[in-house]
Amino acid sequence: MSDPKLGPLVVKVGGGLLQAQGLEGLRRACTEVTQMSRSGPVLVVPGGGPFADAVRALDAQVGLAADVAHALALAAMDQLGLLLRPLLPAAAMIDRLVAPTSLGVVLATAAFRDRPEVPESWEVTSDSLAVLAAAAIGAKEAILLKPVAGVLAQWPSNSQPLRALTARELQALQARGGGQVVDAYLPAAVRRTGVAVVVRAPDGTGTRISPG
């Protein structure tokens, strides 16, 4: 749970939960997020899930300009945010990167568009955007809720997730084909911002990624 002594917390609710588990997956994640907000302010960053996948497919088919693909990907996050709204009835919809009083859901198009620190690339997904949001609001940690137990040394694999690793170790792991559960830009985002990341399933333990 969020600790008010640590300041605000950023939580990404991944669109993969919707794809893997349906609305029940999102509901479980939102129940946990609501509990977190009782201990301190929580800013939710929606994933893109099937909406972002549709943009990727269109980009592969017609070759979108980078800025257009970026704008559509942010809009995909907003679509998932609309699905989260009834599951987080106490949350405010926030169009800037600011810490909410209690619980807020960020509107990605308004909050992340035209920010120079956000590369317009498919290497950057809502994973890294959650890290950048955490840095912007002064959060020390971002939690990425996904339909996986954590970061795996190899992908695909039935092995147990790694308990912890540094951003540099994650980058090296991704270069070898592992660590594919998070986007390729995340190691750089963690090192640059100093924000730690926890990758896990709802109510799980997961993998902690520390700066360094």
Contact 200, 206 (CB under 8 A): yes
- Count of CB atoms within 10 A of residue 28's CB? 17
Per-residue pLDDT averaged across 194-205, rounded?
96
Q: What residue spans define the domains of the chain?
A: 4-150+182-210
Residue pair 11/143 in contact (Cβ under 8 Å)? The answer is: yes
Note the pLDDT tens digit of each residue in 121-144: 999 999 999 999 999 999 999 999
Whether the per-residue pLDDT at 3 is higher than 60: the answer is no
Comparing 67-76, 114-123, 149-158, the range with the smallest average pLDDT is: 149-158
**CB within 8 A of 7, min separation 6: which ones?**
40, 41, 99, 138, 139, 140
pTM, to two decimals? 0.94
4-150+182-210: CATH topology is Carbamate kinase (3.40.1160)
64-86 pLDDT, tens digit per residue, is 999 999 999 999 999 999 999 99
pLDDT tens profile 26-65: 999 999 999 999 999 999 999 999 999 999 999 999 999 9
Please answer whether residues 110 and 169 qualify as being in contact, where contact means their C-beta atoms are separated by less than 8 angstroms. Answer: no
* pLDDT over threshold 70, residue 95: yes
